[in-house]
Copies of this chain bind each other. A is one copy, B any other.
Amino acid sequence: MPGRRGGIVNKASPTIQDVARMANVSTATVSRALSAPASVAEETRRLVIEAVERSGYRVNQTARNLRRKQAGAIVVLVPNIGNPFFSRILAGIEATASKAGLNVLIADTRQPRAHEGPLSEYLHNNRADGILVLDGSLPDRFFSAGNRSHPPIVYACEWSEGTRLPSIRFDNAGGAALAVEHLADLGHKSIGHILGPLDNVLTRERRRGFDNALKARGLPMRPDWYFDGDFTLATGANAALRWLELPERPTAVTASSDEMACGFMSELYRNGVKVPEDVSVVGFDDIDIAERFIPALTTISQPRMEIGETAANALIDLIRNPDRKPTGTGFTRLLDARLVVRSSTRAVA
Chain A residues within CB distance 8 Å of chain B: 11, 13, 56, 58-63, 65-66, 71, 73, 80-84, 86-88, 90-91, 94-95, 98, 103-108, 111, 118, 121, 124-127, 146, 148-149, 233, 237, 259, 262-263, 265-266, 269, 288-289, 291-296
Contacts and interface: CB of A to CB of B under 8 A. Distances in A.
Nearest to A267: B292
Given A104-B106, A106-B104, A127 B61 contact: yes
B106 A118 contact: no
Given A87-B83, A111-B95, A124 B58 contact: yes
23 contacts: A59-B125, A60-B125, A60-B126, A62-B71, A63-B66, A73-B105, A80-B91, A81-B91, A82-B91, A86-B87, A90-B106, A94-B107, A94-B108, A98-B118, A104-B106, A105-B105, A233-B288, A233-B289, A233-B291, A233-B292, A266-B292, A269-B294, A294-B294
As for how many copies of this chain the complex holds, the number is 2
Contacts of A233: 288-289, 291-292
Contacts of A111: 94-95, 98
Contacts of A98: 107, 111, 118
Most B-side CB within 10 Å, residue of A62, A121, A263:
A62
A340 B345 CA distance: 32
A255 to B, nearest CB: 13
Contacts of A292: 233, 237, 262-263, 266
A111 to B, nearest CB: 6
A289 B294 CA distance: 12
A149 B19 CA distance: 19
Given A66-B62, A262-B292, A292-B266, A108 B91 contact: yes
